[in-house]
Amino acid sequence: MVRITPFGYEDVQYWRLSVYRLGKNVQTVYAYWLDGILIDTGQRHNGGNILHALEGKPLDRILLTHHHEDHSGNVGYLMKKRQVPAYIHRLGYEKLKKGLNLSPLALMLSGEVKKVELEILEETPFYSKNLQIFPVYSPGHAEDHYCYHIPEKGYLFSGDLYVADKIKYFADFEDLGLQIKSLEKLVQLDFDTLFCAHNPKVKQGKERLTAKLNNFKHFYGAVERLYHKGYTTAEIMKELQIVESSFYKYITFGNFCAENMVKSVVKDLKINPRG
Contacting residues toward Fe ion, per CB under 5 A: 68, 160
Q: Which of 131, 127, 111, 115 is nearest to 46 (CA)?
A: 111
Handedness of CA 207, 267, 106, 143 (dihedral sign): positive
To the nearest whole angstrom, how small is the minimum distance from the Cβ of residue 67 to Fe ion? Answer: 8
Q: Which residue is nearest to Fe ion (CB)?
A: 68
To the nearest whole angstrom, how small is the minimum distance from the Cβ of residue 174 to Fe ion? Answer: 9
Instruction: Output the 3-class SS for 18-76.
Output: EEEECCEEEEEEEEEEECCEEECCCCHHHHHHHHHHCCCCCCCEEECCCCCHHHHCCHH
Residue closer to Fe ion by CB (options 160, 268) is 160
- Spatial CB neighbours of 232, under 8 Å, sequence gap ≥ 6: none
Task: Specify whether the CB–CB gap between 186 and 138 falls below 8 A.
Answer: yes
Residue closer to Fe ion by CB (options 139, 226) is 139
Compute φ and ψ for 36, nearest 5 degrees: 80, 10
Residue closer to Fe ion by CB (options 160, 259) is 160
Q: Which of 248, 139, 24, 273 is nearest to 147 (CA)?
A: 139
Other C-beta atoms within 10 Å of 141: how many? 25
To the nearest whole angstrom, how small is the minimum distance from the Cβ of residue 11 to Fe ion? Answer: 25
To the nearest whole angstrom, how small is the minimum distance from the Cβ of residue 145 to Fe ion? Answer: 8
Residue closer to Fe ion by CB (options 160, 175) is 160
Residue closer to Fe ion by CB (options 51, 171) is 171
To the nearest whole angstrom, how small is the minimum distance from the Cβ of residue 241 to Fe ion? Answer: 28
Residue closer to Fe ion by CB (options 146, 155) is 146
Task: Specify whether the CB–CB gap between 183 and 209 falls below 8 A.
Answer: yes
Q: Residue ranges of the alpha helices (H) in 63-151?
A: 69-72, 75-82, 90-98, 104-109
To the nearest whole angstrom, how small is the minimum distance from the Cβ of residue 141 to Fe ion? Answer: 6
Residue closer to Fe ion by CB (options 76, 153) is 76
Q: Residue 56, by phi and psi: left (phi above 0), alpha (psi -120 to 50) or beta?
A: left
The torsion angle over the Cα atoms of residues 82, 100, 178 and 131, rounded to 10 degrees, is 0
To the nearest whole angstrom, how small is the minimum distance from the Cβ of residue 20 to Fe ion? Answer: 20
Residue closer to Fe ion by CB (options 40, 268) is 40
To the nearest whole angstrom, how small is the minimum distance from the Cβ of residue 272 to Fe ion? Answer: 24
Q: DSSP 3-state assignment of 174?
A: coil
